[in-house]
Amino acid sequence: MWQIVSLGYLLESFLVNKAIRYDIKGKKYINTLSKYYFSDIGLRNAILNMRQQEESHIMENIIYNELITRGYNVDVGMVEIKKQDKDGKWIRVQLEVDFIANLGSKKYYVQSALSIPDREKEIQESRSLTNINDSFKKVIVVKEHIMPRRNEDGILTIGLFDFLLKEDSLDM
């Protein structure tokens, strides 16, 4: 039986990696909660005693590990937008970009989505990406095996297997 292990020990032993939140518009790191990813999904499952088997979290962890394996520095992105609430007041809303992958002069914004069954879900998953005002590539990775496609905003949607098996998948 696993005993409660300090997060610091897991980080020091390289069992867990830390992704820091980055304000994309403000171009600075944010001192809010970071996200943590296990370097080995099997060890993750053992440490968590086979609980928390949420497929979307596991897929996100796998994508993170693949980006790290390819040599990217990986952060979690935040995009702040202003929108009107039901009373007409303007409020600030923070949207998360699952990953900002940097390697030299290359930068990619990567979103993990288990599936995109309809237009409404596509809008939801791409919302944070469409609010980034730069020319770096934006990619959504879905679990299904699909033909890679671009939408009208230039966002590439690819299947998980294409992403994992083709090293140049982000450059499609």
More confident residue, 2 or 59: 59
The answer as to whether 2 is a domain residue is: no
Can you read off the two tokens belonging to residue 17? 């990696």
The answer as to whether 1 is a domain residue is: no
The answer as to whether 141 is a domain residue is: yes
Using an 8 Å Cβ cutoff, are 158 and 142 in contact?
A: yes
The reported pLDDT for the residue numbered 1 is 40
Report the domain count for the chain. 1
pLDDT at 122 over 60: yes
57 vs 25, 130, 148, 149, CA distance in Å?
Answer: 26, 23, 22, 24
Q: For the CA atoms of 51, 53, 54, 55, what is the dihedral angle to 10 degrees?
A: 170
More confident residue, 129 or 85: 129
In whole angstroms, give the CA distance from residue 100 to residue 30: 14
Residue whose tokens read 């005993």? 3
The reported pLDDT for the residue numbered 52 is 65
The answer as to whether 51 is a domain residue is: yes
DSSP string, 17-41: EEE-EEETTTTEE--S--EEEES-H
pLDDT digits (tens, 9 = 90+) for 65-113: 999 999 999 999 999 888 888 888 989 989 999 999 999 999 999 999 9
pLDDT digits (tens, 9 = 90+) for 147-164: 999 999 999 999 999 999
Chain centroid to CA 63: 8
Domain with 149 in it? 7-171
The reported pLDDT for the residue numbered 40 is 84
The answer as to whether 117 is a domain residue is: yes
- Check which CATH number belongs to the domain holding 105 and give it: 3.40.1350
What are the residue ranges of helices labelled H in 22-141?
41-47, 55-69, 119-130
pLDDT digits (tens, 9 = 90+) for 15-59: 889 999 888 988 888 887 889 998 888 777 776 666 667 788 899
